[in-house]
Structure 1
């Protein structure tokens, strides 16, 4: 019924790298070291250490009977004297006016220039004075403790500052790097899951870059590095790290070693491409496909490889064994099928998972628009379920072309009448196997058919839309439009 088909652009490229974040964390630690070297607590403590305790001349006050600490303040913000205690004349509390002059010794509260037994205690308002006999009282412990702590903190701060400078200097050491775009040709393999450190090591080992660290430094600063794909690359030797990153992001560097299985590709096309790329004889690969048991097919594949080569991009280096590519393609299909529970969902619909793959392959070849897939699935299921006798066959052009070795162009009467199990114009029911590699959307369409009464669909050659019909009259109108747009059998 359809008049179009074929492969489409590969939309399912290999996974990107999400592992460079480890290297970014390395960069983060280095930055923190540099910060500690210039603005940490050690620097502040060192600055404080530069301020000496102003103190006072102990000898000058000794003559007047004042110990060095007798006026030390409990308030660290004061200038070194206690606030005037109750009962003192304010003139004596004013340290700015006191210079140890003996004139003050004549004051009634002071005897002989010192604290008298009567005057000292009495003037203190009964608080009592430790120097009641006129001797020196012990210095307070708090100012000395603070002084010791300031000195220790200054020493520690200087040590931290020094260590920080060393760490910062080591962390900032420029990595060895080449300049320019390099010379010659070097082939480098980037494995799946490689971090920027792994890539840098591989590049340095092949002398693409001067050091792995230079590449990591560039990759850490450029978010594009996260999109580097695994595979084989053709690079140059002695490239700057920045040039190497640009080359890894250039599709041309890996195009020679990449092969894409597109949605709608058949096993026959895949084998031809692998034979041409690897030099393996096509007959050898075709013999393998006739008995693909060694490729890891799921049980419901029925021993057929068609439909189970997952559309994606694969690495094909010069020494690649094409069998390994086929195994990887099957493994990717199985991984997708397991992740999306194709087998369980198929049986919930009352169908075998192998039948779902067959239907999905027909959908892939019949329509290009993803939104039309569920409707095509409904047409197929409606015809398979019809018991009126009107729709004994699926009558799909795509399966008929597959039976005729992927014939392109108008189908001949001989081809339409060919009694081939894949020719649904002549044989009732589903074909015995898939006819191409279905994309994920085609598989989802087969698992989630739309609700509708349709038994026909016609893909228009010019507008590329698909018209669905529930009866013969609607189908005749659709076919008239198909011919008007230049369509032919």
Structure 2
């Protein structure tokens, strides 16, 4: 046994002898690693080609056929529009559109509105049509400063081909129009005069709501609510004053002075009636320059010859200059004004009643009376 296994000392010494390393001990694993990397590299190349084919963006070619009407809503992004176009079969994939519009640098050129496109268009062709203002389906409708609702609604009905009754019904829905609370549920005064682009899918409520939204933008820009408070007036009173200014003024430069006449009369001691012919005619649902003796006997609440203070609300829809004048009246003592020459739109101001009657005679002579 001992001769085979060795003595105990030899066994102990044997445990202390270092083992010889085989030649090439590190070489085999390194060769295996090189072979493995080479295999992965080859698979990566063909895998890359496979992934490239698999991830290729699907797109149609050409300018398509047929007709598809697409409506872009305010606030929609290029990605939102891309998904819409894919759903309608205009383009092959949303990705193709977002890539095409980014490459063309036209993402910011998308505008709300209705556009006529075609089915199975290339994404690039769809981008071209959607960013071309000439391709937008719309109609321009002009609403002038001072127009009453009784003028605006028939005009909108005529221009859009929608029933007038539908506009009248929509005008009564203050909540749907998102009228400000101080409007007291009435649209008169808050249908802002401007040029509007109306698309075929817009309902009468949509159109009127756009006018209210445009008013809100002007009111915010003018700081109407805080400025009204500084003047000791409500926003509704300011809009009523602005509507009178708009109706009475022949020229923009006269507006701040007319505003001052209104404020001076409202603050006058003893109390003084406004006596504005424009409010009388509004109450009578008529238009005119000078109210007659019969007119000023009207019992309408808009008859400022009969009642003190402001009428119940606006008598038309004022523009931004009239609103600005109502918020920033000129400095002066004037209590009277007369448009002495209506054709030339010349208006004169005074703080003396005797001078007022002289100006009144000048007006009568100018109109041949």
TM-score, normalized by the shorter chain, greater than 0.5: yes
Q: Which runs of 5+ in 1 are unaligned?
A: 1-161
Q: Which runs of 5+ in 2 are unaligned?
A: 1-44
Match of 1:13 in 2: none
The answer as to 2:137 corresponding to 1:254 is yes
Indicate conservation of the 8 Å contact 2:137/2:200, yes or no: no
Q: Distance in 2 between matches of 1:466 and 1:222?
A: 56
| C-alpha displacement of 1:342 | 2.7
Indicate conservation of the 8 Å contact 2:113/2:138, yes or no: no
Indicate conservation of the 8 Å contact 1:308/1:333, yes or no: yes
Indicate conservation of the 8 Å contact 1:383/1:394, yes or no: no
Distance change in 2, residues 1:234/1:353 (3 Å) = same
Q: Distance in 1 between matches of 2:179 and 2:293?
A: 35
Match of 2:274 in 1: 393
- Pick one of 215, 233, 240 that aligns with 1:358: 240
| C-alpha displacement of 1:365 | 2.9
Match of 1:453 in 2: 333
Match of 2:296 in 1: 417
Q: Distance in 1 between matches of 2:92 and 2:347?
A: 57
| C-alpha displacement of 1:350 | 1.7
Once the two structures are overlaid, the 10-residue window that deviates more, 440-449 or 224-233, is 224-233
Q: Distance in 2 between matches of 1:425 and 1:230?
A: 48
Q: Deviations for 1:281-339, whole angstroms, at most 9, x for unmatched residues?
A: 61x65466567466544343234331123446667555544345445544554565467
Match of 1:349 in 2: 231
Q: Distance in 2 between matches of 1:459 and 1:224?
A: 55
SS in 1 for 2:255: helix
Indicate conservation of the 8 Å contact 1:185/1:236, yes or no: yes
| C-alpha displacement of 1:366 | 3.1
TM-score by length of 1: 0.50
- Tell me how large the CA RMSD over aligned residues is: 4.8
Distance change in 2, residues 1:359/1:225 (3 Å) = farther
| C-alpha displacement of 1:382 | 1.7
Q: Distance in 2 between matches of 1:436 and 1:456?
A: 20
Q: Distance in 2 between matches of 1:212 and 1:460?
A: 64
SS in 1 for 2:275: coil
- Pick one of 241, 259, 276 that aligns with 1:377: 259
Distance change in 2, residues 1:483/1:332 (3 Å) = same
The answer as to 2:313 corresponding to 1:430 is no
Indicate conservation of the 8 Å contact 2:228/2:238, yes or no: yes
1:248-327 mapped onto 2 (5 Å cutoff): 248-250=131-133, 253-256=136-139, 262-272=144-154, 277=160, 279=162, 282=165, 286=168, 289=171, 292=174, 295-311=177-193, 318=200, 320-327=202-209
Match of 1:103 in 2: none
Q: Deviations for 1:11-56, whole angstroms, at most 9, x for unmatched residues?
A: xxxxxxxxxxxxxxxxxxxxxxxxxxxxxxxxxxxxxxxxxxxxxx
Match of 2:355 in 1: 473
Q: Deviations for 1:239-293, whole angstroms, at most 9, x for unmatched residues?
A: 774686466543673324x6565543333344445656474561x6546656746
Distance change in 2, residues 1:449/1:327 (3 Å) = same
SS in 1 for 2:246: helix
SS in 1 for 2:243: helix
Distance change in 2, residues 1:432/1:243 (3 Å) = same
1:39-438 mapped onto 2 (5 Å cutoff): 176=59, 185-203=67-85, 205-206=87-88, 226=108, 228-235=110-117, 241=124, 245=128, 248-250=131-133, 253-256=136-139, 262-272=144-154, 277=160, 279=162, 282=165, 286=168, 289=171, 292=174, 295-311=177-193, 318=200, 320-327=202-209, 329-330=211-212, 333-334=215-216, 337=219, 341-367=223-249, 369-387=251-269, 392-397=273-278, 399-407=279-287, 413=292, 416-417=295-296, 419=298, 420-425=300-305, 427-438=307-318
Indicate conservation of the 8 Å contact 2:338/2:348, yes or no: yes
Match of 1:157 in 2: none
SS in 2 for 1:300: helix
Once the two structures are overlaid, the 10-residue window that deviates more, 370-379 or 413-422, is 413-422
| C-alpha displacement of 1:395 | 2.2
Q: Distance in 1 between matches of 2:348 and 2:104?
A: 48
SS in 2 for 1:405: coil
Q: Distance in 2 between matches of 1:356 and 1:184?
A: 53
SS in 2 for 1:187: strand
Distance change in 2, residues 1:209/1:405 (3 Å) = farther
Distance change in 2, residues 1:221/1:273 (3 Å) = farther
| C-alpha displacement of 1:458 | 2.2
Q: Distance in 1 between matches of 2:274 and 2:351?
A: 16
Q: Deviations for 1:383-432, whole angstroms, at most 9, x for unmatched residues?
A: 2223367x5333233x233223353x666737733512223355443211
Q: Distance in 2 between matches of 1:214 and 1:427?
A: 68
Q: Which has the higher contact order (CA 8 A, sep 6+)?
A: 1
Once the two structures are overlaid, the 10-residue window that deviates more, 454-463 or 211-220, is 211-220
